[in-house]
Every structure is written in structure tokens, then in C-alpha cells.
Amino acid sequence: MSSNKKYWKSVEELNETSSIVETLKNNEFVEPIPTDEFFGDKESLSNSSTTRRDFLKYVGFSTAAASLAACEGPVIKSIPYVVQPEQIIPGVADYYATTMFDGFDFAHLLVKTREGRPIKIENNTIEGAKFSANARVHASVLSMYDNLRLKQPKIDKKDATWSEVDVKVKAALTEAQAAGKKTVLLTGTLASPSAEKLVAEFLAKNPGSSHVIYDAVSSSTALDAFEAVYGERALADYDFAKASTIVSVGADFLGDWQGGGYDAAYAQGRVPKQGKMSKHVQFEANLSLSGAAADKRVPMTAADQKQALVKIYNIVTGASVATGKLANEAEVVKAAEQLKSAGSKGVLVSGLDDINAQLLVLAINANLNSEAFNTNQTRQIRKGSVQKMTELIADMKAGAIHTLIMSGVNPVYSLANSKDFTDGLSKVKFSVSFSMKEDETATLTTVAAATPHYLESWGDVQIVKGNYGLTQPTIRPLFNTRQFEEALMVWNGVEGTYYDYLKQNWSGILSGKTWNQAIHDGVFVSETTSSSSAGSTDFSSAANALAQAKSTGLELHLYTKTGMGDGQQANNPWLQEFPDPITRVSWDNYVTVSKADAEQLELINRNVANGGLNGSYVTLTVGTTKLENVPVIIQPGQAKGTFGLALGYGKKAALKQEMQVGVNAYALYTNSNSVQTVIVSKQAGEHEFASVQLQKTLMGRGDIIKETTLTIFNAEEDSRVWNPPAMVSIDHKPIEASKIDLWTSFDRTVGHHFNLSIDLNSCTGCGACVIACHAENNVPVVGKSEVRRSRDMHWLRIDRYYSSEDTFAQDKDKKENFDGLFGDKGSLGGFGEMEHPADNPQVAFQPVMCQHCNHAPCETVCPVAATSHSRQGQNHMAYNRCVGTRYCANNCPYKVRRFNWFLYNKNSEFDYYMNDDLGRMVLNPDVNVRSRGVMEKCSMCIQMTQATILKAKKEGRPVNDDEFQTACSNACSTGALAFGDVNDKESEVAKLAEDDRMYHLLEHVGTKPNVFYHVKVRNT
């Protein structure tokens, strides 16, 4: 029976003669839609074309968000599509190929956009796209939505127009020529054929001008050495997939050495195939990602590394240069003999900032005729010269420079002698800084020129010779910005847009491919490349000079962290909260010190009552420069007599207060040399770290990270010897845990069933998967204070473990040989000893996320059934049902669930990207933003798997094997993470599940996870 009750929205409706009520009845919107603000006059709209680049002029809701957020205003009105672009289908992601190079990082990319908003970075896997995104590149999409970006040009710190800037610059160029003074372009490495051509045209148009290239993190000595031998200012490229023996002397090639990007090829040789895998020996001071992955790691000072390099040179080439005796002489000789025996399958690399060391590297690889050593397709991503930068500063201080135009550099922050540069800058009459931020340099120049993000720009890149990448915009510029190249065109008097210039210039590059196809692919590989031939070089003199190297005291080794790099993205909260793979500390840089040196200097690390990590402070003195209040991390594996400190921190300008962390190590980067003689003194007080992992060792629990040696792996036909199954007891009889069920199992052979494979041999701990997960799943940033309280929200973590003995195998032996509770072999004292890592431990990385257990202990304890299991193998979370009891987290043996202690979205207490309209544009609309009191965890990217299934269903076809992906598997460049349908017996993941190396984490618990791992094999 129907109700006759009448409902009203307000008391105004009771007044039958109200004009307001009548108006609301007849009008959907209370106010007229302000289309004039967005579309202008009718004639201009009808004559326009809705290209992807222009669509933000016309479209609705995201346009209002972008335009208003860019002005720091709230989104007040939703504007519906009036002219909907054909390329944009609401709810469907579009992908665009582009190439990223910012002077430090580079990659071939696919950019995922939703309704015109770039929201995620993925790897371009087309043939020729050989460089994948690291953690910083994945995070770069968030940097575009930084609300502290420079929004328009400024002259003398006042807002200006580009026309006013052009007038000023042209006048300064004319005045410089009339006065007979110099004009200098100071840029980072451009690695762009079109930009370099524009620079050449600028120099030709302005006689007396010059171009100086400056890299904040320098490879100048390697460039000098290569130029001396091969006549080209470039870097040799290396393909570690072609090497069976790899020797590194101070080169973190799995990190940022010479730009990085070597991990994918390296991983190919690290997985045992047909009984073979590459051998890797690392000599280094700081414990790096490369050292952690090595089969044999030898801690060594830089002075000893130089001696070791000469010894290797002697053995490989047959030379007889006299060297001093080393403490690790036997290890050096053994590595050199293995390298020589490998011949063309061997390769040596070095990160020593010494031209003589770099000359010996070239000599050794040439003598080996190394297949991995490539001098033809050279790397173009570093071109800077320390000598020319020194000359520039001298000219500036002498008053010889009239006009200085800078792009992509921040020397006031990144130069060790920044005071000299600042003094010189004050004597330059006219200066311009092209920058995305009003950074330390831009605040001191006459003109601060706002530049767009690479996702808003056109451009080209030649990362290695013959391999070209195109950069295309994926969104219209959010602010009133201009590319450096566009400015050069205006000042050079070149008509048209930079797109037109780029297209015309590429007519001489493209061969067999159209311009549109090149833009679509994002990459073009030239079939013809020039070859480099070695000239006559006196390598023996270089060896003799290097052999004279002696220790001059304690060494400070400066490096770049996996998360922060050179510091360009210091205002990126994803990267600040990203835990360092080695130390597991976020929101800080610190000086790393060996246990022996820490004891001598009375430095401590201690865990306090709330689970936080505290450490001592020190003062570092290099020459006359002091760096005070530097916190200390006692680092296993640090060479005695050496200290490590990361560059890229300590920035203040154009950063939110929360991001102003750490100390500026560039102040100690004298002459751009990464090794400095240092004096270390303890200071009073303790620093509070934000560390996500306090447990350092496995304490002999070999079932968590299983590993074996290549010898045992090849010798034992029965894999149960080196991959023993987990056993449990039933009726006092041992039985394999995999054959026991806690509950009655379902038939999971029907439909899709997802598994994730993780190969511990391939995982380098790089963390690209962690940032990709952040981007795909709207994982919040909680800040240093909350991380310190163990409230970090990462859905995926990469656990790092040290051995307490020299190897993990010795750990296991020690545990198994315990005899009783007390005595030398007693378990009480023994387990206590095993909590402490060795001075030079083996290292293992293990990515851990929700294991999506078929017998999940979290599901059975949830009182409201907020977490449940699907037939496809995914453990679901219904956020609206969750009442925050946290029983599930308590019952999870893997500790992968995260609780929202606070509201991290639109909360000024957590003033990160989710607290402003512009920052929230990066959010993925397919994933809910969680609220306070809700439990969350890895969903195995259910939104991605369901989208794949629905797409195939719509197209009337089965899903292909490589279509199923998660954010982490997509981001993994080494292939360590592989995702797919295990019910498809032809799929890669199904084959990996049957591999002899496969095992499950904590299998004896009986949870039957859908994530499995592969036994780590070491070639010792």
C-alpha cells in the first residue's frame, strides 16, 4: 500500500507561492553554468579542434580541477563536457609513450592518463626501449602536481610576462656584445639533438658566447678518460647480460653509477640457467645495492681500491707496475685471475673519481676484448666538465661575464664552493634561471623563468648513441611556463613552435619510420651508428700514477640514495617516505659508519621504548668546511676507516616544511670528487630516525629466505636437498605442510586464479615496485613522526636481512649445532649473538606484500566479514564494512596489513599531496581513498585484473598470458616479479610455480599463499 506522506527539503517548500521553489523545480543547476569562462566566444570554439593536447581548454570536471587548483583555489563548479574529445572515454585509461631525462634520471616510459590527468608512470616495453623507470622516475608524476612549483616568470622577484622577459634578455645580449663581455649558457647535460642544435644556433647568433655543461653529480673523470682514449666526450655503455664474470671496484652499477639502468641486463645473468649464472665480485667502501647483490663483497677504502685496480691491471694485461701490499690481497688476486680467465665474457667497472683509474678500466676491458664493454653505442647522459665550471666561476668573480643564462641546474645548492659562485653571480649584470622551482639559484637571479614538467613538454633525447627517444606532453601546462628550448627559439628569431622545430629536425634522424609512428612508439633506433676506435694512450703511466695513491686519513664517501638521487625531487613525499633499501631509514640522510669506528668514536644506535631508532650526532670537517649535527647509522659492511653520506638532502627553498630534512652533503663535494679526507668528531644529543625495520638478521630462520650455492644446486638432482619442504607433525609423524589443510579446500581450477612469483635472485631491492604501488593504489604518506611509530602505510615492503656470520649458510649451521641452553654452544647466548649482523655480512632482499592466502587467517577473525576470499585467489577488503578492530592484522603472520590511524586525506596535520587540490589530481579514480579507522593492504591490484578480464570479454577473446599485471610486476625491470593466471598452464607464472626453486613464505603455518618465492642461488 503506497504512502501518502509528503517529504520536503526545506521549510521554504511549505510556501506554495515561493518563487525560489518554482525556480529549483525547473532548473537542474542553481546557478548558470559558466561556460563563457572556459570556452570564450562561439566562433573561436566552432573553429577549434579538440586535440589531446588542447582538450583541457574544453572539457569539464578535470579542467575545472586543473585550472582552479593551479591557482590554489577550490573546485567550486563541475562543468560537463560540451565538446568531448574523441580520444577521451570517461573511465578508460589512455597511455602515451614518452621519454624522460632530467639531467640525472632517464627512462623510456608509458604514461597512464585518466580523463586527461597523468596519474602513473609505466615502462615502455616496445623494441628499442631499453631503459626502465627507477623509483624516482615512477614518483616523478607526483612532482608535476607540486603546488610549490614556479607558476610564472619573475623579474627581480616580481611576477612578469614572457614578453617582458624576452625584452630584457634581448637587451642584455645586445649590451653584452657592445661591452665586449661574455654571455654564457650554463646547463646540465642536455642529451637532446634538437636542444643542442638550438644552443649551437644561439652561440652562432651571439659571438663571444659559450656553453658550459655542469652535472651536479659528476662523471667528469670518466668522461675525461674516455675522451682521451676514444676522442669522444661520452661514457662507455655496458651490457652485463653478456658477462659471466663481473668485477666492480667502487661502482654501484645497480644504483646510480653513470646514470644506472644496468639492472635488467644484470639480472638476466643472475638466474641459474642450465647450471650457469654470472659471478659478481664487489670491492667497495659503502654497502651498496651492487655490493648487496654480489657473490663476494670485499670492504675496502678508496686508497686500497686504487691499489687493487693496479693489481688487476697487472694480472690481466701482464704489466708489472709496483704496488703496495693489501690486507685483502688474496681476494684481489683471485678476482683478477677469474676475470682474466673469463676473457671476452669478463668485464670490469669502477666508480673511482680518478682519471688514471678510469683509464685503467678502459685498458683492462679492451685487453679482455669484453663483449659487455661497448664503446660504439656510448652513453650521452653525462657531459659536464669540472674544469670548465671552475673556469666559469673564476670569470664570474673577475666580472668578465655580462649575461648568464642557466637551465636545469641549481649550482647555489649543489656546488661545494657555492659561496664563490654566489659572489660571482653578484658581479654578473644579468642572469636568468630556468627552473620548475624558485630554488636557491632562481631566488638570486634577475629572472626566474618557470619551466614545465617533462609531462607537459615536447622534446627529444639520445640516451645512448643511435637510440633516440621522443618526449611528448600528456597534459596541457598547468601554469604559465615555457621550455628553455622555446625561449632559445624566440631569442634566435626562429618562427613557429618547438614542436615544429622538433619535427623538422627529426626529418634528418628518422629512417624507415614516419614522424607519427615515432611519436606513437616514443623511441627510434638508428640502424647506422659511428664506431669509436682507441687512440694511443700511455696506460702504464696512468697505472704508475695510481699505484702511488696512499691513504691520507679517514675517508668520506659521498653517494646518491636510491630514493632521493641528486635531490631534484626533494619535495616529493613518496620519495621522502621511501625507505632506503640498505638502512631501511626514511625521511633522512645520515653518515654511515662501521661498527669498529663507531666503538672508537663512542657513537651509538639504540632502539627506544616506542620502537624508534635513535643515533648519535657527529661533525664532519672536510678542509675548512664543517657540516654539523649529522646523524649516525652504524652500518654493517662499511669499510673500516670510511664514512658514507648521501647527497640530495638539506634543501630549503621552495620546499614544504615537512620536506626540509637532512643535511646538504654537496657542501663537502669538493672538486666534484666523491671521496674526501674527513675529520669526524662526536656531538652531544641523539637523533630520532624513522626506520621501518629494526630487526637486522634472520637468526638462522632459513625457511624465510632459502638459499644455496651454485655448486650444490648443480650437484644435487633432488631439489629437496637445497629446497627442503616445510614439515609439520600429524599424529607424531612428520608430513609435508603443503599436504595438510586447515580447512576444506575449494576447487580452484575453474576460471582465473592469480599467483605472484618473486625470484630472490633477480630482486636488487631497487624499490621501483614500492613507488609504483603507491601511485596505483593511492597509498597515503604519513610523515616521519608516524613512520617512527611503525605506522607506515606501504602496501609492499622490501625486507633486508644481514647474515650474523659471514654467510647465511654459517648462520644456519650455527643454529643447528646449538647444544643445550648454556655454554659456548648454548642457544640462549647463541640466539643473542645471532641478532647482530657480521662486520661484512651477506645481504638478501625479500619483497613482502599480502600473500593472498587461500587459507587466510585474517578472514576467519574479522567480526564483520570485511575481508574475504575470492575464487580468483585474491583476498578482498570491503572498506565500508571495516570497523577497525585490527584483529586481522594481529592474526596475519606476514604483518602486511596497514591501519589508518588518522585521516590522511584533506587533513592539514598531514600536509602532503593529498591535502591540496593540485596534489590530489594524481589519485587513481579506480581505487578508493581510505578513511580513518579502516584497515588496508595489497589488493593484488584487483582493479587492474578486472579491467583486463572485462576488456577481453568485450573483445570476445581469451586473456593473453602477458596481459595480467599488477603495479609491482609492471614496474619490475629485472623480472623478479611475475604475475599471472596459474590455471593457464601455458602462462609464465604457472611454469614458475612448478620450478624446483619455488617455495612459500612460512609454509609450515598452513596459510597456502598465492604468492611464492624462488630459492636464492649464490655463485660463491
Residue 781 DSSP code = P
| 734: exposed, middle or buried (Cβ count in 10 Å: 0-12, 13-18, 19+) | exposed
Close Cβ partners of 566 (under 8 Å, ≥ 6 residues apart): 103, 104, 216, 217, 414, 560, 647, 648
Given this model, what pLDDT does residue 85 score?
A: 66
Q: With bands split at pLDDT 50, 70 and 90, how would you rate the model's confidence at 826?
A: confident
Task: Show the domains of the chain with their CATH numbers.
Answer: 1-88 (no CATH), 154-216+384-452+477-517 (3.40.50.740), 220-379 (3.40.228.10), 554-691 (2.40.40.20), 707-1018 (3.30.70.20)
Sign (positive/negative) of CA torsion 983, 966, 850, 837? positive
Burial zone of 175 (CB within 10 Å; 0-12 exposed, 13-18 middle, 19+ buried): middle
SS3 445: coil
Q: What is the rounded CA–CA span in Å between residue 414 and residue 92?
A: 42
Which pLDDT belongs to residue 46? 45
Distance of alpha carbon 101 from alpha carbon 507, whole angstroms: 22
Q: Which residue has the higher pLDDT, 578 or 51?
A: 578
CA dihedral 156, 158, 161, 167 (to 10 degrees): -20
Least trusted range by pLDDT, from 299-308, 955-964, 989-998: 955-964
- 744: how many CB neighbours lie within 10 A of its CB? 6
Task: Reply yes or no on whether the pLDDT at 93 is more than 70.
Answer: yes
Q: What are the tens digits of pLDDT across the range 713-754?
A: 999 888 899 999 988 888 888 888 888 887 888 888 888 999
Of 490, 657, 498, 691, residue with least CA distance to 584? 691
Contact 345, 244 (CB under 8 A): yes
Q: Determine how β-strand 117-123 pairs with β-strand 106-114.
A: antiparallel
Query: What percent of the chain stands above pLDDT 70?
Result: 91
Angstrom distances, CA of residue 366 to CA of 219, 227, 279, 337, 369: 20, 15, 20, 16, 5
Other residues' Cβ atoms within 10 Å of the Cβ of residue 861: 16
Residues 816/677, Cβ–Cβ less than 8 Å: no
C-alpha cell belonging to residue 635: 652500518
Instruction: Please check the confidence at residue 7 and state whether its pLDDT lies above 70.
Output: no
Quickly tell me which residue has 647535460 as its cell: 189
> Residues for the chain: how many in total?
1020
d(CA 309, CA 505): 44
Position 14 pLDDT exceeds 80: no
Query: Which residue in 235, 277, 276 sits closest to 256, CA to CA?
Result: 235
- Residue 703's pLDDT band (cuts 50, 70, 90): confident
The closest alpha carbon to 857, from 737, 1013, 745, 742, belongs to 742
Strand bridging mode 245-249 / 346-350: parallel
Read off φ and ψ for residue 607, nearest 5 degrees: -95, 130
pLDDT, tens digit, for every residue of 176-206?
999 889 999 999 999 999 999 999 999 999 9
698: pLDDT strictly greater than 90:
no
Residue 15 has pLDDT above 80, yes or no: no
pLDDT at residue 391 in the model:
95
Answer whether residue 32 shows pLDDT above 80: no
User: Model pTM?
Assistant: 0.90
Q: What contacts 837, CB < 8 A, 6 or more positions away?
A: 636, 696, 697, 802, 803, 804
Over residues 882-891, mean pLDDT: 93
714/726 Cα distance (integer angstroms): 22
In 3-state terms, what secondary structure has residue 813?
helix
Which residues contact residue 22 at a Cβ distance below 8 angstroms, ignoring those fewer than 6 apart?
A: none
Percentage, residues of the chain above pLDDT 90: 74
Report how far residue 639's alpha carbon sits from residue 580's, in angstroms, rounded to the nearest whole number.
Answer: 19
